[in-house]
Amino acid sequence: MKLKLMLWWLGVLQKRALKRKAAFREGVERLERFDWGVGTEDLSIARHYRLTPRAVESHAGLPVDLALELRFRDADSATRFLRKPSQRAFREGLFGGNLRLVGDSRDLERLQGLLKYL
């Protein structure tokens, strides 16, 4: 339940940043469209986000057309990572098998550049 709430709140924060933070809005405009998602490996908990210069959409599940997916081994490892995301935590998650990146690593850099404005 914690993870579901955190992922929903992440969508709210992105929508708020698009309205209130010019740097976030400019980053989304440069990308034109960016679709990404977060979920557990078994997809029991998953949410995706579609960012455009006009709006941020947030829905449950992970469709197949996303540019980037962050898949966590379980809800606990996802919650631990999302509470204090950092490059070190990301690297440890990848090497420890708690996190799997589906997509291009350049998209991850773009996402990190946007999320720093939340």
The pLDDT tens digits of the residues spanning 47-93 come to 999 999 999 999 999 999 999 999 999 999 999 988 888 888 888 99
Whether residue 42 has pLDDT greater than 90: yes
- What CATH number does the domain containing 80 carry? 3.30.1050.10
Residue 52: domain span: 2-115
- Say how many C-beta atoms besides its own lie within 10 A of residue 83's C-beta: 10
Cα separation of 91 and 34, whole Å?
23
Residue 31 burial class via C-beta count within 10 angstroms: exposed 0-12, middle 13-18, buried 19 and up: middle
At 7, is the pLDDT very low, low, confident or very high (cuts 50, 70, 90)?
very high
Domains: count for the chain: 1
Question: What is the percent of the chain with per-residue pLDDT over 90, rounded to a whole number?
Answer: 81
Average pLDDT score over the chain: 94
The pLDDT score that the predictor gives to residue 49 is 98
Strand order in the sheet with 34-40: 56-60, 46-51, 34-40, 68-72, 99-103
Residues in contact with 19: Cβ distance below 8 Å, sequence separation at least 6, in sequence order = none
